[in-house]
Amino acid sequence: MLVVTDIHNTSPHKCLLNKRQEYLSLATLCGHRALSGAPLHQHLFESGGIDEVVRGLVDTITAPCVALGYSAGGYALWRAAMAGAPITRLFCLSSTRLRQVPPIPIPTHVFFGADDPNIPSETWMSKVPDHVSIFPNTDHSYYCDPSSTAWQETRLIISEYLPHIAQY
């Protein structure tokens, strides 16, 4: 499985699938390794850096793979799939910018905290992704807290699609 981090370069130790995964950071993919947080967000969404990330993913993903993206990482993976990257299944966690994208012809599952102020509309959720999981009383960064119920439920849902993940 390929994992693309968020703008904070979520540590593999906090990742839902923390073993035997390939991790790519948004900062590395856009050629600005030193950026993180707000400066990286600004570069991605105000200076065209997200297009660099998408090109980097299309160039990097040469064999069919399952992918998981955290926040902006999920948005980048979705756009890479739209651009022809051979992604066979996509999981996106708190990827609120997905509200700007159309459906893609691969299985998709999106996860959001109900308390995330930027969650896509119900209309988008009913028409674009194949599966949606929304966790009550949960914010945008739930995926950074392995002790949270939402984090554990997300891992369980993904392991149902990919039983070998449960072995980790």
Query: What is the pLDDT confidence band of residue 19, given thresholds at 50, 70 and 90?
Result: low
In terms of pLDDT, which residue wins out, 34 or 11? 34
d(CA 35, CA 2) in angstroms, rounded, equals 21
Per-domain residue ranges of the chain: 2-161
This prediction's pTM = 0.93
pLDDT band at 153 (very low <50, low <70, confident <90, very high): very high
| pLDDT value at 60 more than 80 | yes
Tokens of residue 53, six digits:
């990330």
CA 121 to mean position of chain CA atoms: 18
pLDDT digit string, tens, across residues 71-117: 999 999 999 999 999 999 999 999 999 999 999 999 999 999 999 99
Class of 2-161 per CATH?
alpha beta
Total Cβ atoms within 10 A of residue 145: 14
